Chains A and B, each alone.
Chain A
Amino acid sequence: MTDQEILKLYREGGREEAFRLLVQTYKERLYWHIRRMVLDHDDTDDCLQNTFLKAWRSLANFRGDAQLYTWLYRIATNETLTFLARQQTRGEYAGLDAADRLPTDPWFDGDEVQTALHKAIAKLPPKQKAVFNLRYFEEMPYEKIADVLETSEGALKASYHHAYEKVKTWMKEALDAKY
């Protein structure tokens, strides 16, 4: 079912059914988007539930000038950034603790290179992390990332370049130290 069909169903009174369809369509993509940012499964579950609850509350005001997909990604990203900011004020540096726990996390099967990669990404400032993940893992076009993060494409390209160079350096340092 397309976004337009889901919205039509919602506006014609099938609110709950439309919402269920929306959740079914986007839950997995949004789960992985959030998971790469917060790393921990339980934290991801909290953020994902909050994302859909916010979507449910604001769906009636959705004007349709953006794609439903972009709109949901924006809510999920903001929810995740808020979670990371709260984590930072609690004394953890935005997912760093979760990154340290990665090798013992039962829901992580990465090899040494993947562990080094996700530990390096965890060191990035939260918004740069979002840019890097959307571009590197999801290969989202800059134009769409600009819609999600409400930033200019030029600023995004610069931000991605900086993030890429930092991650590359940190990964190399981590892997060189091991061998």
Chain B
Amino acid sequence: MKDILSNRGQADNPFRMPEGYLDSFEDRLMARLAAEETEATQPKRPVWRILKPALTLAAMFALIFGMGYGVLSLTHTLGRGIGTTTSDTYATAEEEMIRPVSLINYYQTAESEEESADLDEETLLNYLATELSFADLAEIYAQTYQK
């Protein structure tokens, strides 16, 4: 294979650079150097200064929240939203309906209701005649009228 690289003509430089590039190179380099050195000698920013924007934002949110809370407290509207009222009312009503009642109380109430009920004479006589014996009736009579 013919040695194409042995021809030194192609080793001539085919590249060019913009006019005046090398003349201005030192100035640009020294300017960059000065900028980097200034940056390096500047004191580092303290942590609070880095966090300042975030802290300001957080403080603003806290202030807005505080103001809103204050206004609602002063106007007594805090906790009286639509949803809260409905659920509170429901809870109170439910509590009243499911008040615990003892079994004894229940029977006492039932007995008194029975006692107060009006019984007609005929029903009563029928009941006594069919359900009780003669002896039972005599005993009741004795208890009622002999006191």
A interface residues (Cβ-Cβ under 8 A, vs B): 16, 20, 23-24, 27-28, 31-32, 35-36, 39, 41, 45, 48-49, 52-53, 56, 107-111, 113-115, 117-118, 136-137, 164, 167-169, 171-172, 175
Q: Tell me if B64 is interfacial: C-beta within 8 Å of chain A.
A: no
Partner of A168, one of B5, B16, B29, B33: B5
Mostly helix, strand, loop or mixed at chain A's interface? Answer: helix
A56: chain B residues at CB < 8 Å are 33
Total A-B pairs in contact (CB under 8 Å)? 72
CB of A136 within 8 A of CB of B11, answer: yes
User: A32 — nearest CB in chain B belongs to which residue?
Assistant: B13
Contact B14 A168 (CB under 8 A): no
How long is the Cα–Cα vector from A109 to B1 in the complex, in angstroms?
27
Q: Name the prevailing secondary structure of the B interface residues.
A: helix
Instruction: Determine if B22 and A41 form an interchain contact, defined as CB atoms under 8 angstroms apart.
Output: no
A108 x B16 contact (CB < 8 A): yes
Interface size range on B against A: 20 to 34
**Which residues does chain B contribute within 8 Å of A31, judged by CB atoms?**
17, 22
Q: Which of A39, A114, A117, A168 contacts B3 (CB 8 A)?
A: A168
Q: A136 near B5 (CB under 8 angstroms)?
A: yes
B15 within 8 A of A: yes
Mark each residue of chain B from 30 to 56: 1 if its CB lies under 8 Å from any CB of chain A, else 0.
101100100000000000000000000
Q: Which of A52, A108, A118 has the most chain B CB atoms closer than 10 A to its own CB?
A: A52
User: Is the CB–CB distance between B4 and A110 below 8 Å?
Assistant: no
Q: Given the complex of chains A and B, what is the CA–CA distance between A168 and B95 in angstroms?
A: 98
Measured between beta carbons, the chain A residues less than 8 angstroms from B4 are 113, 168, 171-172, 175
Task: Please state if A108 and B5 are interface contacts (CB–CB under 8 Å).
Answer: no
Among the listed A27, A45, A107, A117, which residue makes an inter-chain contact with B10, where contact means beta carbons less than 8 Å apart?
A: A117
Within 8 A of A (CB), among B69-124: none
B11 touches A27 (CB 8 A): no
Question: Complex Cα distance A164/B29, Å?
Answer: 36
Q: Are B29 and A23 in contact (CB under 8 A)?
A: yes
